[in-house]
Amino acid sequence: MSLIPIKYHRKIYPSIIKSNIEEIAGHFDKENIRPKMDYSLHTEYSVGKRNLVSKLLSDLHYIKNANKNSVPQLWYNKKWSGDFYNFITRIVGNNKPPDIIEIHPPFSDYCNLVYDFIQNYAIFELKIRETFPDTKIFIENRCGTIYSGGKFIFSKINELNQLSDVLDKNNLKLKIVLDIPQLLAAHNINLRNISIANIESVLESIKTIAHNISGIHLWGKKLTENDRWISHIGDLNDYFSGNKEQKNFFLRKVYDVFNDGKKRYFVPEVNSSSEDLQSIVNDMINVGFKFV
């Protein structure tokens, strides 16, 4: 299985791996970007509150008004999608077009069907295709937010199956980037009850939609002194509480699911240290992953 490594923040891959593309934050409080190489634009993900006072949003009233307690409501309607296109072109500015635009799902209290999302999203894609014809568009599964009243519509495998079916039937360029820890969390597999059996049950189900998955996210969790698990901190040894059998089974299963000859993008969303990132990547290499 071959992965294209995306540089995440300032973290450094093992010396044998060279990354030629970086992730750049493009959420709604940003006013500009300064990519130094090819880049993936990681757009608003609605985990928490935004100020929504960026100059780029000054006349984008559908984006500014679509929020609940300052948490952005993504893909609110077709006019929101037009505003989102304008925001993307403004934040790209005079930079070269992004290689990837990564988007995120809406909440179920105003967009409760995959078809509602697709109708709104298609407006955005049509415009992006005209402006950035070579840019890929990925949507990430999401689980976890302070938003109340609804949940992300693409969190669990059955919801991703529905999305994949719609993508197969429509002439859209949208693909999925799979955040594997978030998928496990959505299925209530947490670090206190994780087992080979429940890892198997979730990861095996991914095979039917693997053709629509063009990237993966992977990161660790670490237990603090206050007995709280912190996401995006630590490596896979921390994630599996030192259980090497579970860790190696997990990695071999991910390898098996995606070992289809297709190259995919890889984002190691590790906020703690380069050492933790390198530990995760070296574990992946040890079970057969190749970074190209």
Domain ranges within the chain, ordered by starting residue: 2-291
pLDDT of residue 223: 82
Distance, first Cα to last Cα, the chain = 10
Tokens of 56: 């780029």
Q: Give the pTM.
A: 0.96
For residue 274, how many C-alpha atoms fall within 13 Å in the half-sphere facing its CB? 8
Which distant-in-sequence residues (6+ apart) come within 8 Å of 122 by Cβ? 170, 172
**C-alpha distances in Å from residue 147, one per residue of 31, 108, 143, 229, 286:** 24, 11, 11, 20, 39
Question: Which CA distances in Å does 24 have to 39, 71, 272, 281?
Answer: 6, 21, 18, 21
What is the per-residue pLDDT for 190? 82
Q: What is the DSSP letter of 170?
A: S
SS3 of residue 87 by DSSP:
helix
What confidence score (pLDDT) does residue 110 get?
Answer: 98
**Strand stretches in 180-245, DSSP E:** 213-218, 221-223, 229-231
For residues 177 and 213, what is the distance between their CA atoms, to the nearest angstrom? 6
Over its length of 292 residues, how does the chain's per-residue pLDDT go in tens digits? Answer: 899 999 999 999 999 999 999 999 999 999 999 999 999 999 999 999 999 999 999 999 999 999 999 999 999 999 999 999 999 999 999 999 999 999 999 999 999 999 999 999 999 999 999 999 999 999 999 999 999 999 999 999 999 999 999 999 998 999 999 999 999 999 999 888 899 999 999 999 999 999 999 999 999 998 877 778 899 999 999 999 999 999 999 999 999 999 999 999 999 999 999 999 999 999 999 999 999 9
The domain 2-291 is classified under which CATH number: 3.20.20, 3.40.1710, 3.30.70, 3.30.300?
Answer: 3.20.20
